[in-house]
């Protein structure tokens, strides 16, 4: 399960092909996930105690054929999350998505303009099917070294 941090949000991707009955529960300090996946309809469940608080009313998700992408709006925008979970333990099922990770503390003005456009797009989302395509990995600078 890859994740990455942005200035006002955190993204988590639950990699489950052909998911059905997707249920995402956003709480102030938790994210709960469940679904049936694959041709065998295997039940997948996970609850994550998050590193910091989120705005559960502004957090959203989108299901695709290969995964479920969650957009978690930070309760404190501008505060970096060095890890996704409250616990410092390394979890084998969790990985950093370095293709989308961005060291945003050193952003230039031009990069901030791009981020503001991206943030506006995310803020104007209506439902789970309105999440825009999140390409743009080509514009990402080398990742910040973090300990998980």
pLDDT in tens, 5-43: 999 999 999 999 999 999 999 999 999 999 999 889 999
Class of residue 140 by CB neighbours under 10 A (exposed 0-12, middle 13-18, buried 19+) = middle
- The model's pTM is 0.68
Q: Is 90 domain-assigned?
A: no
Q: Is 18 domain-assigned?
A: yes
Q: What is the predicted pLDDT for the residue at 138?
A: 46
Which residues lie closer than 8 Å to 19 by C-beta, 6 or more apart?
35, 36, 37, 44, 63, 67, 68
Higher-confidence residue of 109 and 56: namely 56
Class of residue 118 by CB neighbours under 10 A (exposed 0-12, middle 13-18, buried 19+) = middle
Q: Is 11 domain-assigned?
A: yes
Residue 100 banded pLDDT, cuts 50, 70, 90 = confident
Domains: count for the chain? 1
pLDDT in tens, 43-86: 999 999 999 999 999 999 999 989 999 999 999 999 999 999 99
Q: Is 126 domain-assigned?
A: no
Q: What is the CATH number of the domain that holds 29?
A: 2.60.40.790
Higher-confidence residue of 102 and 7: namely 7
Q: Is 28 domain-assigned?
A: yes
Q: Is 124 domain-assigned?
A: no
Distance CA 6, CA 136 (A): 13
Q: Cα separations (Å) of 74 from 44, 45, 60? A: 25, 23, 12
Q: Is 97 domain-assigned?
A: no
**At residue 132, does pLDDT exceed 80?**
no
- Domain that includes residue 54, residue range: 1-76
Q: Is 93 domain-assigned?
A: no
Could you identify the residue written with the tokens 């514009």? Answer: 139
């Amino acid at each position: 399960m890859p994740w990455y941090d942005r200035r006002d949000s955190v993204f988590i991707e639950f990699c489950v092909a052909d998911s059905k009955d997707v249920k995402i529960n956003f709480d102030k300090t938790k994210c709960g996930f469940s679904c049936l996946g694959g041709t065998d309809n295997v039940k997948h469940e996970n609850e994550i105690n998050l590193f910091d608080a989120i705005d559960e009313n502004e957090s959203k998700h989108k299901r695709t054929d290969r995964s479920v992408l969650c957009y978690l709006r930070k309760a404190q925008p501008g505060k970096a999350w060095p890890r996704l979970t409250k616990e410092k333990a390394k979890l084998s099922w969790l990985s950093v998505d370095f293709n989308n990770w961005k060291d945003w503390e050193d952003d230039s003005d031009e990069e901030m303009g791009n981020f503001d456009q991206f943030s506006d797009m995310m803020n104007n989302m209506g439902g789970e099917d309105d999440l825009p395509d999140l390409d743009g990995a080509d514009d990402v600078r080398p990742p910040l070294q973090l300990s998980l």
